[in-house]
Structure 1
Amino acid sequence: MIFQLENIEFLSTVFGYRRLVFSPFIPPLVKYGNQWRFENTSDSIGNCSFFNSLKSKNLKELGKGFNKVVFKDSFENVAIKKISFSGNSFVTCMDNADGNFKSEFDCIETAARGFITEIGLMLSLQGDPNVPKLYAYCIPLDFVLEAESLSSATSVGEPLDVIHLAQSDWKNRVKIIDEILKFLKRTKPLVFNDLRRQQFVLIENHPTLVDFDDVGFIPLENQRRSDFYDYGNDAVVRRLYSAFIDGLLFQSNPPGTEESLKELKKAYENSTLTLEKLTDISSKLRNFI
């Protein structure tokens, strides 16, 4: 089921429900005319009318992932994100549906659910230096049948790729990984299960997460664990090491960092590297910036 229903206010069979709750970690959706808005959304964040003005413009495609496609509106200097109906995830789902109407409907519903959840997460994290500014979003009233209209508009960044990291000095590489680690700690109990370098861009020299696919939540009963910070992050640590540390922090490192880097590499090779330990070592390395 794509949503849970809270405070059922069934006005009529025409108007239907006026309030939808996707998750306790994002605001509920409230019906406004022919679209949904997250509760208490600032008036400064645009709605569907923002995107109507873009339909006649020639948008440049910036990139495409498994689930979404991103365009750039050069005039407004914003990134426009939509569901990628030619992306791997959606195409695979439709192929598996094999013409079954209900299964195909479920594919669209799942894609819509993920997209709307991402908007809600970005909205909840507005003001965080590692989250893009949200300028507008559009969630049509029938967001399954009108899934092609689901859209978000955010600030534009530069790709945080291997070339950029290789050309950066050592201090900047440490700053980037340290910021990401602090972001992960700051946003607990969220768990970014599929965190990859490709999900980040640089905005005003900050590594900024722009893809919120596969975000989980630590259950309430586990939020008091002594290893709360590390809970559910084993795979995340290994991906962070591969993407931002291996072959990058061990080159051109200043004198005095050898012991910390040796400890870091040994923990990774012995599979004892935790998010807590990685954060501690990163803090030590920042002393050399």
Structure 2
Amino acid sequence: LNLFIVLHSDSLDLTFLNDLQETEHGLAIRNSNLSCLNCTTWALPLNRTIAKGWSKSVYWLTPSTVIKRPNIDGQTFQNCFHANFGKEDWNVRCRLGLLRGFLNEIRMLLQLQNNPNVIKMISYCIPPNPLRNLEQVSIVTEKGDPLDTLALLQLTSSQRERILHSLLLFFNGTRTLRLHDFRRQQIVTVDGHPKIVDFDEAYFVGKDADFKNYYANIRRKLISELLVNYTDTGLTTSING
């Protein structure tokens, strides 16, 4: 795979690039179903920005879909620049960081594509020479409504409890999944159903890894962000259930 990378400083971990294979339509995640691979969105006009995060920009594509692309003006890239200030290859390092996150998110969405609490990925694009063409790396998903403070205020307590219960069942059913720094901003609703959208730093652990403490932290965080005046009665989704 010709990724044009020539580095003269300390070595970088490029092993994640081994997951890519060349196809006539761009690069694909190796050994994955190619039905999601679609680079026809390269030239689409992206005039309506929905959100800009630390590492991703989200644009309105159609009434029911959005497209995510790397945000080279975001905080992640800026932090990388400062961390590598003075290094000749800082730009390659920082682009690699964004690319690594996007490839990880694509990989995770492919593995979790049948889970009802995971945003549905419709297509993705990894162009040839992805570092040079980083701005064209794309993930197209169904469109959800952000679960922000305004949205929460419009929900009844029972609706918020249903969202909480659904998410707790999700984590209880995917015990080897770990989401880094999970927070409410990673959740949207589609027809009232909660779905998680950010997986750039997600990973799986072994079956013997501790789940009880991780689940307890997730549960505590979700309760604090979704419910008001909560008392620990009811909503007892057990980690043994």
TM-score by length of 2: 0.83
Is residue 2:28 matched to residue 1:37?
yes
Is residue 2:189 matched to residue 1:207?
no
Q: Per-residue deviation at 1:164?
A: 1.9
Q: Which 4+ stretches in 1 moved above 6 angstroms?
A: none
Q: Which amino acid aligns with 2:195?
A: T
DSSP 3-state at the match of 1:240:
helix
Q: Deviations over 1:133-171 (max 9, x none)?
A: 211111123222221111110000111112222221221
DSSP 3-state at the match of 2:212:
coil
| Count of residue pairs brought into register by the alignment | 227
Query: In structure 2, what is the equivalent of residue 159 of structure 1?
Result: 146
What is the alpha-carbon distance in structure 2 between the residues aligned to residue 91 and residue 198 of structure 1?
21
Q: Which amino acid aligns with 2:28?
A: R
Query: In structure 2, what is the equivalent of residue 280 of structure 1?
Result: 238
DSSP 3-state at the match of 2:122:
strand
Q: Per-residue deviation at 1:234?
A: 5.2
Q: Per-residue deviation at 1:213?
A: 3.5
Is residue 2:14 matched to residue 1:2?
yes
Q: Per-residue deviation at 1:41?
A: 1.7
What is the alpha-carbon distance in structure 2 between the residues aligned to residue 103 and residue 166 of structure 1?
43
> Equivalent of 1:181, from 154, 157, 168?
168
1:125-274 → structure 2 map (5 Å cutoff)? 125-218=112-205, 220=206, 223-224=207-208, 228-233=210-215, 235-245=217-227, 247=228, 250=230, 261-262=231-232
Q: Per-residue deviation at 1:93?
A: 1.0
Q: Per-residue deviation at 1:89?
A: 1.0
What is the alpha-carbon distance in structure 2 between the residues aligned to residue 236 and residue 104 of structure 1?
35
What is the alpha-carbon distance in structure 2 between the residues aligned to residue 138 and residue 207 of structure 1?
26
> Equivalent of 1:80, from 57, 61, 67?
67
Distance 1:4 1:78, change over 3 A: closer
Distance 1:53 1:106, change over 3 A: closer
Q: Per-residue deviation at 1:239?
A: 2.2
What is the alpha-carbon distance in structure 2 between the residues aligned to residue 146 and residue 58 of structure 1?
16
Cα RMSD after superposing both structures:
2.5
Distance 1:172 1:153, change over 3 A: same
Q: Per-residue deviation at 1:107?
A: 1.1
Distance 1:137 1:262, change over 3 A: closer
DSSP 3-state at the match of 1:279:
coil
Query: In structure 1, what is the equivalent of residue 42 of structure 2?
Result: 52
The one of the two structures with greater contact order (alpha-carbon pairs below 8 A, sep at least 6) is 2
Q: Per-residue deviation at 1:31?
A: 1.8
DSSP 3-state at the match of 1:145:
coil
